[in-house]
């Protein structure tokens, strides 16, 4: 988070009067520093949103025939979920909502890994994407998402 906040410092200069020699007061008015500050809650919500995108990447990689990525993503998502579960319901409401969504994303990735491990040799690679899209729709309907 500190590294992100360091990257969100911007300086502006007004070069409209290049030929004039401004006084120190005028120079201060022409130059400005703008900072955007990411709060801890914003950072956590961003990480939680990232997990949803990783889940989509995982399912798409299976459809492209990449079998290694889902297992790497699954391991990373488990670590993120473990970190979020320490916060649990003690954090802000938005974070606890994201925890539920993160759990769903992790379940989808783990189901993909399970299917690859157990059924991967039975299903041709070009049909894996269809299997996962149907399974994802079934999970979403059970959870009342779609």
User: Where is the binding site, in residues?
Assistant: 53
Locate the domains of the chain by residue range: 40-140
Report pLDDT digits (tens) over 12-31: 875 555 455 554 444 445 56
d(CA 78, CA 81): 5
Radius of gyration for the chain, computed over Cα atoms and rounded to the nearest angstrom: 23
- Residues flagged as binding site for Mg(2+): 53
Containing 70, the helix (H) or strand (E) segment is helix 69-87
Residue partners of 10: CB distance under 8 A and separation at least 6: 33, 34, 35
pLDDT of residue 125: 59
Q: What is the mean pLDDT of residues 41-58?
A: 91
How far apart CA 114 and CA 26 sit, in angstroms, is: 66
Q: 40-140 architecture in CATH?
A: Up-down Bundle (1.20)
Q: Give Cβ neighbours of residue 31 (< 8 Å, ≥ 6 apart).
A: 11, 12, 13, 14
Question: In whole numbers, what is the pLDDT of the chain averaged over residues?
Answer: 77
């Amino acid at each position: 988070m500190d590294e992100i906040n360091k990257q969100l410092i911007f300086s502006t200069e007004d070069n409209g009067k290049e030929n004039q020699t401004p006084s120190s007061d005028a120079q201060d008015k022409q130059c400005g520093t703008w900072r955007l500050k990411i709060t801890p809650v914003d950072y956590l919500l961003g990480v939680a949103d990232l997990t949803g995108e990783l889940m989509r990447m995982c399912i798409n990689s299976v459809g492209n025939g990449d079998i290694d990525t889902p297992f790497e993503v699954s391991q990373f998502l488990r670590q993120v979920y473990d970190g979020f579960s320490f916060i649990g319901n003690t954090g802000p409401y938005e974070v606890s909502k994201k925890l539920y969504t993160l759990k769903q994303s992790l379940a989808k990735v783990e189901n993909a890994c399970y299917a690859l491990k157990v059924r991967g040799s039975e299903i041709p690679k070009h049909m894996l994407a269809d299997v996962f899209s149907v399974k994802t729709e079934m999970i979403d309907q059970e959870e009342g998402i779609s």
